[in-house]
Amino acid sequence: MEIEDSPLLKEIGFHSTDELFQDVPQKIRKKELKIPRGISEFELTHLSQEIASMNRSFRHNFLGNGIYDRIIPSSVDSIIGRSEFLTSYTPYQAEMSQGMLQSLFEFQSIISDLTGMDITNSSMYDGFTALGEAARMAYRINEGSEILVPETMYRSKLNVLHSYMTGLNVRLVPYGISPADGTIDLESLEGKINDNTSAIIAEQPSSLGNIDRNVAKISEIKKKALLITYYDPIALGVLKPPGETGSDINVMEGQQLGLHRNLGGPLLGILSFRNEFARKSPGRIIGESNDTQGKRAFVMTLQTREQHIRRAKAMSNICTNQALFAVAATSYLGIIGPSGLKKIALKTMENSQKLINSVSRSKMLKRELNGVPFSDVILKYSGKGDLQHKLAESGIAGGIELEKLIENPHRQLKGSVFLSVTEKTGTESLEALSKAIEVIQ
């Protein structure tokens, strides 16, 4: 039916839809919309397939550095594909949204258990922005004017952190990372800690890919500063959780917990902290309460910290978060279970060792960094030209240059590349990689 014939129009006493817009002055009316006319679903799907085929798919994947190709149980996609979850809004009407509220409460709980932290909120946009919010939160807590960051932090992460520091009287001060084994240089760090230090940011594994034993030692030297850790959640299958090694705030990127890579978005930010910081924390939090009959029920709580109530004095402006992916992560952890997560972490490490072995015969790629890598293996590359480009010709994705990720890498590491593995990295991929390297000059 043509819209001009709509019975609604007659009901409101209008003769034409133009009357609906009589309050929009003619001089600002849009004369023309230069967008193609609509097409059918069939045509759209066909067009989309054609465009998708302009992307190149790789048989062998060695890209990581924050986004990983991990096992995703089919059940996870099925659960977050439930349209009652997928097409719901923020649970403002709590009684009608108990399913999502309970799921988010479970997300908070399962992450707090996994990390050993007291409280986890119901999600942030991604790891980087959650780190930015964590740093703002630390500043709200102690108003220290310096935040210490590892000198090897990826440029993109540092840039996001910088953006989040806008308007605060805070300086980001780099501390040393040992170029010998990629761990925190505790002496350098200790030298930078003073009365003005608001927080110390530490990554586990480090940006250079190695498991860092020194993260656990920061709490001994941090004085009044808060320790903000940035953990790889999969590594928690084998590593002591941040809550047991002195973290005050812990941040993670949750993409590895059941999300597809999607060109790096949308992702899942995970923010946990100690009990006493609850009222200084950003983002939505779900609490357990009861209904008038005493029955267990869930509801958004501590909303007086948030923008819709506190406006300019809110802890953050965040409202939309990544609720659906919080459900994905909870389903993932529930399905994988404790033994599954451990196996996945071990398999990842096993594969990174295999990768080191399989490139060891190559003259062009040398493992010069000591220490134990988790997913990301840094290798010194002495060949000519862009390795990533050359590998792509053999159907292999990977070999990203260190300089693309880190602003001023250590002199010793210049010209290094990353090859990353997960539990999915198969023998055939490792073989393809070593073959490809053999022929690259």
Annotate 134-200 with DSSP letters as a single string. Answer: HHHHHHHHH--SEEEEETT--HHHHHHHHHHTTTSS-EEEEE-B-TTTS-B-HHHHHHH--TTEEEE
176 vs 287, which CB is nearer to another protein? 287
CB 273 within 8 A of CB 248: yes
180 vs 309, which CB is nearer to another protein? 309
* CA atoms within a 13 Å half-sphere pointing along the CA-CB vector of 167: 4
Q: How many CB atoms lie within 10 A of CB 277?
A: 18
39 vs 180, which CB is nearer to another protein? 39
CB 80 within 8 A of CB 328: yes
In the bound complex, what is the minimum distance in angstroms from residue 415's beta carbon to another protein? 18
In the bound complex, what is the minimum distance in angstroms from residue 380's beta carbon to another protein? 19
167 vs 363, which CB is nearer to another protein? 167
93 vs 441, which CB is nearer to another protein? 93
Q: Distance (Å, rounded) from C-alpha 44 to C-alpha 162?
A: 40
CB 275 within 8 A of CB 298: no
Q: Distance (Å, rounded) from C-alpha 416 to C-alpha 410?
A: 10
57 vs 411, which CB is nearer to another protein? 57
3 vs 363, which CB is nearer to another protein? 3
123 vs 197, which CB is nearer to another protein? 123
In the bound complex, what is the minimum distance in angstroms from residue 50's beta carbon to another protein? 8
Question: Residue 203: which H helix or E strand, with range?
Answer: strand 197-204
CB burial class (10 A; 0-12, 13-18, 19+) of residue 272?
Answer: buried
- Going from the C-alpha of 385 to that of each of 236, 349, 426, 441, the distances in angstroms are 37, 29, 27, 9
| 91, amino acid identity | P
**Token pair for residue 9?**
């129009």
In the bound complex, what is the minimum distance in angstroms from residue 183's beta carbon to another protein? 10
Q: Distance (Å, rounded) from C-alpha 217 to C-alpha 246?
A: 8
Q: Distance (Å, rounded) from C-alpha 3 to C-alpha 82?
A: 33
**Token pair for residue 69?**
């190709």
Q: Distance (Å, rounded) from C-alpha 372 to C-alpha 402?
A: 18
In the bound complex, what is the minimum distance in angstroms from residue 73's beta carbon to another protein? 7
In the bound complex, what is the minimum distance in angstroms from residue 159's beta carbon to another protein? 4
53 vs 441, which CB is nearer to another protein? 53
**What does DSSP say about strands 296-301 and 365-366: parallel, antiparallel, or unpaired?**
unpaired
In the bound complex, what is the minimum distance in angstroms from residue 141's beta carbon to another protein? 16
In the bound complex, what is the minimum distance in angstroms from residue 188's beta carbon to another protein? 20
Q: Distance (Å, rounded) from C-alpha 141 to C-alpha 226?
A: 9
327 vs 365, which CB is nearer to another protein? 327
CB 129 within 8 A of CB 269: yes
124 DSSP assignment: B
**What does DSSP say about strands 171-175 and 146-150: parallel, antiparallel, or unpaired?**
parallel
In the bound complex, what is the minimum distance in angstroms from residue 361's beta carbon to another protein? 22
In the bound complex, what is the minimum distance in angstroms from residue 363's beta carbon to another protein? 25
295 vs 363, which CB is nearer to another protein? 295
In the bound complex, what is the minimum distance in angstroms from residue 330's beta carbon to another protein? 7
